[in-house]
Amino acid sequence: MTKRGFRSTLVAAITVALGVLLGTPAGVLAAKLTCLTGTDPSVATDLSQIMGVRAEIDAQCPCGSFDGSPGKTHGKYVTCANGVIQEQVSAGTLRSQCKTTVKKYYSASTCGVPASKGVVPCIKKIAAGKVTCAIKPRAKCVDGPGTYTQAACNGFNLCIDAADTNNQGIIDASDSGACAGTGTAFTLTSTAFHDGGVLPVAYTCDAADGGVSPPLQWTDAPEGTVEFALMMTTLALDGTKWNWVLFHVPANVTSLAQAAVGVGVAGLSSDGPERRYYPPCSTGPGAKTYTFTLYALSAAPTFAVPENQVTGEILTGAIGSLTIARRQVNVAYTRSGL
């Protein structure tokens, strides 16, 4: 017997023994060790819990703020994400069985990898139908004729977002093997900038009119979407800052015009008392990254405070378990003269 075979036999024996000692069938015991799959009734809430954790990571560890420079490396990004994951497990808002699953989401990402490396989520689908994803240089994400196909997913940071085309929280043979956004998949774009590009001055406090909100468009929201929420965030020295907080956006809305008002309900930003878009106005030197995140929600969020007191932090907590899917666009802006 090989070492691997021996270990497998030993694990199986221990599982059966524990089941006998605890009065629990081995199959049931094994089910309790799974995340997102299996017969354990707790699995039914895994996806909503995971989406809640992801919303917290978006707020505390925005990918766009990790650019590969000192202190903003991929390792630092993963450490930040893992810290949030552990907090959620300790708080009981994420099953411990899902801890490793969610950690893998963030290790398989481009966040914190210098742009010069040219890496992307690369989806591989073999002839038998198995689908996997890894981060690799775009130039190496090519087909293996007759054996497998590979798809380089530009515009995505995490493998899970690029490859999980059916929004089940896992990458498997039920996924298409194509990048999300190919054909009919949830996308977020702007006519004013592109993901990884520069935020035009018109949408900052340096604009002649003080700055307005940018135009945004989205397509093919997932089935079951009841409404949308939108946030614009940046990671400052003292934590996450919200420039734009918007919720209760109707499901039939697919865009926001430049300087849009009257669509959805605006929440409080980090920069002022009014419920509106506050243009980026950093007081520090260097480029700052701003992240627009659109959330497709399965129900309208409810709050413990009046809606006119909802902050980005409160909204993040309220939509976690309601999020079906999310899409992001990251842009950078450097103020001159600082």
Q: What is the pLDDT of residues 224-253, one digit of tens each?
A: 899 999 999 988 777 789 999 999 999 999
What would the pLDDT profile of 258-301 be if each residue is shown by its tens digit? 999 999 999 999 988 999 999 999 888 888 889 999 999 999 99
Q: Is residue 14 part of a domain?
A: no
Per this entry, what is the length of the chain? 338
The residue from 183, 200, 216 where one domain ends is 183
Say if CB 20 and CB 30 are below 8 A apart: no
Quick one: 325 and 198 in the same domain? Answer: yes
**Domains in the chain: how many in total?**
2
Mean pLDDT over 17-27 rounds to 42
The residue from 161, 183, 205 where one domain ends is 183
What's the pLDDT score for residue 228? 97
What's the pLDDT score for residue 57? 92
Quick one: 205 and 323 in the same domain? Answer: yes
What's the pLDDT score for residue 191? 95
Which is more confidently placed, 188 or 28? 188
Quick one: 153 and 229 in the same domain? Answer: no
What's the pLDDT score for residue 181? 61
Structural domain boundaries, residue 292: 186-338
113 confidence band (pLDDT: 50, 70, 90): very high
Quick one: 131 and 217 in the same domain? Answer: no
Mean pLDDT over 99-125 rounds to 94
Q: Is residue 110 part of a domain?
A: no
What's the pLDDT score for residue 13? 46
Integer Cα distance of 81 and 210 in angstroms: 34
What's the pLDDT score for residue 155? 78
As a whole number, the mean pLDDT across the chain is 86
What would the pLDDT profile of 51-110 be if each residue is shown by its tens digit? 889 988 988 898 888 989 999 999 999 999 999 999 999 999 999 999 999 999 999 999
What's the pLDDT score for residue 32? 46
What's the pLDDT score for residue 218? 95
Q: Which long-range contacts (CB under 8 A, 24 or more apart) does 249-258 make?
A: 251/221, 251/225, 251/226, 251/227, 253/228, 254/217, 254/218, 254/219, 254/221, 255/215, 255/216, 255/217, 255/218, 256/213, 256/215, 256/216, 256/217, 256/230, 257/215, 258/192, 258/212, 258/213, 258/214, 258/215
The residue from 183, 208, 234 where one domain ends is 183
Q: What's the burial of 75, exposed, middle or buried (CB within 10 Å: 0-12/13-18/19+)? A: exposed
Quick one: 245 and 290 in the same domain? Answer: yes
pTM for the model: 0.67
What's the pLDDT score for residue 10? 47
Identify the weakest region by mean pLDDT among 120-129, 173-182, 193-202.
Answer: 173-182
Q: Is residue 72 part of a domain?
A: no
Quick one: 167 and 201 in the same domain? Answer: no
Quick one: 205 and 168 in the same domain? Answer: no
What's the pLDDT score for residue 11? 43
Quick one: 303 and 208 in the same domain? Answer: yes
What's the pLDDT score for residue 321? 81
Q: Which amino acid is at 209?
A: D
The tokens describing 19, both together, are 């089941």
Phi, psi for residue 288 in degrees, rounded to 5:
-120, 140
Integer Cα distance of 113 and 132 in angstroms: 20
Quick one: 204 and 336 in the same domain? Answer: yes
What's the pLDDT score for residue 235? 80
250 contact partners, CB below 8 Å, separation of at least 6: 227, 228, 264
Using alpha carbons, list the distances in angstroms from residue 318 to 48, 231, 303.
12, 13, 7
Quick one: 247 and 131 in the same domain? Answer: no
CA gyration radius, the chain: 22
**Count of CB atoms situated within 10 Å of the CB of 33:** 11
238: domain CATH number is 3.90.280.10
Mean pLDDT over 109-116 rounds to 93
Quick one: 199 and 306 in the same domain? Answer: yes
Q: Is residue 57 part of a domain?
A: no
Quick one: 135 and 270 in the same domain? Answer: no
Phi, psi for residue 79 in degrees, rounded to 5:
-60, -45
What's the pLDDT score for residue 338? 65
Q: Is residue 170 part of a domain?
A: yes
Check pLDDT > 70 for residue 326: yes
Integer Cα distance of 70 and 290 in angstroms: 19
Q: Which of 217, 216, 233 is nearest to 278 (CA)?
A: 233
In this prediction, what percent of the chain has a pLDDT beyond 70? Answer: 88
Integer Cα distance of 202 and 331 in angstroms: 13
**Count of CB atoms situated within 10 Å of the CB of 247:** 24
What's the pLDDT score for residue 285? 83
Find the angle CA(324)-CA(329)-CA(331) to the nearest 5 degrees: 155
What's the pLDDT score for residue 55? 87
